[in-house]
């Protein structure tokens, strides 16, 4: 597994919340340390293979998943096969919030990933002791909604150039790590389906951004950004 991936070996082997990198920013932050110890022993961890679905469209998910490492795409199809990616899910984010309704999209791993899962009934149970959990879930839904609305702005009003730049900035924000170089966990087709563009248009737009000097290098799953320009189209 190359080290540019979102999935670190460290986490793969750990299996305990104490070393979880995303714990503090996630749901678990509302639970006190002793309780966490307890949960840590009973909670299920899953390692998800590349391409595997965490939740599937039309099914009701009994579990809520927290992505520990890896990236997922949320995919939705129209009857005639047109595919839209409605979002990507990064570490610390949640899949399967709804405990009642059937999911409208499928969540597929883009790379080998780690998630931990809580059954909705268990969450409901411990929410008596930790009422913050429900507040967190409400807040989380709100954040998701903002993401969706940003996406709506992008699809409704932005040009191809703007969309690609927005997308690169999105990834940049997630990957504060390796500076100037961005790793794309997803294929061109995934990106195009997220941006509401055709594969070819995306490719051409990337090429044009390189020619403009916005990007330094575009090669496979890596993009080097020209550090001086702040992507200000």
- Residue 117's beta-bridge partner residues? 44, 65
Tell me whether residue 47 or residue 158 sits nearer to a second copy (CB atom). 158
Q: What is the per-residue binding string for DNA in 191-220, x denoting contact by CB under 7 A? A: -----xxxxxxxxx-xx----------xxx
Chosen residue from 108, 193, 205, 206 binding a second copy by CB under 8 A: 193
Cα distances from 57 to residues 40, 124, 180, in angstroms, run 29, 24, 36
* Max Cα–Cα distance, the chain, nearest Å: 57
- Pair 210, 216: CB distance under 8 Å: yes
- Pair 14, 116: CB distance under 8 Å: no
User: What sign does the CA torsion over 218, 224, 226, 231 have?
Assistant: positive
Number of residues this chain uses to bind DNA (CB under 7 A): 21
Structure tokens at 78: 């129209």
Query: Which of positions 73-92 make contact with a second copy (CB under 8 A)?
Result: 76, 78, 82-84, 86
Residue 146 touches which of DNA, a second copy, none (CB < 5 to 8 A by kind)? a second copy
Of 117, 2, 121, the residue nearest 55 (C-alpha): 117
Q: Does 99 bind DNA (CB under 7 A)?
A: no
Residue 163, SS3 per DSSP:
helix
Cβ 208 to DNA shortest distance, Å = 8
Residue 114 touches which of a second copy, DNA, none (CB < 5 to 8 A by kind)? none
Tell me whether residue 128 or residue 157 sits nearer to DNA (CB atom). 157
Of 195, 193, 198, the residue nearest 152 (C-alpha): 195
Tell me whether residue 84 or residue 216 sits nearer to a second copy (CB atom). 84
CA atoms of 57 and 107, how far apart (whole Å)? 8
Q: Does 160 bind DNA (CB under 7 A)?
A: yes
Of 4, 119, 109, 102, the residue nearest 67 (C-alpha): 109
Residue 23 touches which of a second copy, DNA, none (CB < 5 to 8 A by kind)? none
CA atoms of 112 and 226, how far apart (whole Å)? 30
Q: Does 232 bind DNA (CB under 7 A)?
A: no
Q: Does 159 bind DNA (CB under 7 A)?
A: yes
Chosen residue from 53, 97, 160, 218 binding a second copy by CB under 8 A: 97
* Site residues, DNA (CB under 7 A): 159-161, 187-189, 196-204, 206-207, 218-221
* Site residues, a second copy (CB under 8 A): 76, 78, 82-84, 86, 97-98, 100-101, 104-105, 134-135, 137-139, 141-146, 148-149, 151-153, 155-157, 193, 196
């Amino acid at each position: 597994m190359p080290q540019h991936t979102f999935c670190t070996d460290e986490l793969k082997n750990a299996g305990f919340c104490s070393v979880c990198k995303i714990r503090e920013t996630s749901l678990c932050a509302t639970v006190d340390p002793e309780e966490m110890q307890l949960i840590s022993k009973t909670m299920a961890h899953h390692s998800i293979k590349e391409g595997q679905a965490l939740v599937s469209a039309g099914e009701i998910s009994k579990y809520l998943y927290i992505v520990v490492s890896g990236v997922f795409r949320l995919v939705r199809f129209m009857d005639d096969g047109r595919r839209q990616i409605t979002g990507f899910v990064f570490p610390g984010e949640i899949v399967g919030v709804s405990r009642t309704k059937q999911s409208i999209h499928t969540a597929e791993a883009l790379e080998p990933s780690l998630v931990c899962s809580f059954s909705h009934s268990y969450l409901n149970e411990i929410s008596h002791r930790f009422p913050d959990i429900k507040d967190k879930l409400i807040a989380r839904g709100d954040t998701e909604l903002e993401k969706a609305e940003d996406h709506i702005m992008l699809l409704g009003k932005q040009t191809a150039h703007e969309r690609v730049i927005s997308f690169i900035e999105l990834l940049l924000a997630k990957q504060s790590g390796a500076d100037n170089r961005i790793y794309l966990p997803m294929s061109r087709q995934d990106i195009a389906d997220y941006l509401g563009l055709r594969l070819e248009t995306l490719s051409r737009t990337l090429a044009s951004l390189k020619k403009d000097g916005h990007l330094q290098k575009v090669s496979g799953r890596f993009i080097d950004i020209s550090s001086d320009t702040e992507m200000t189209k």
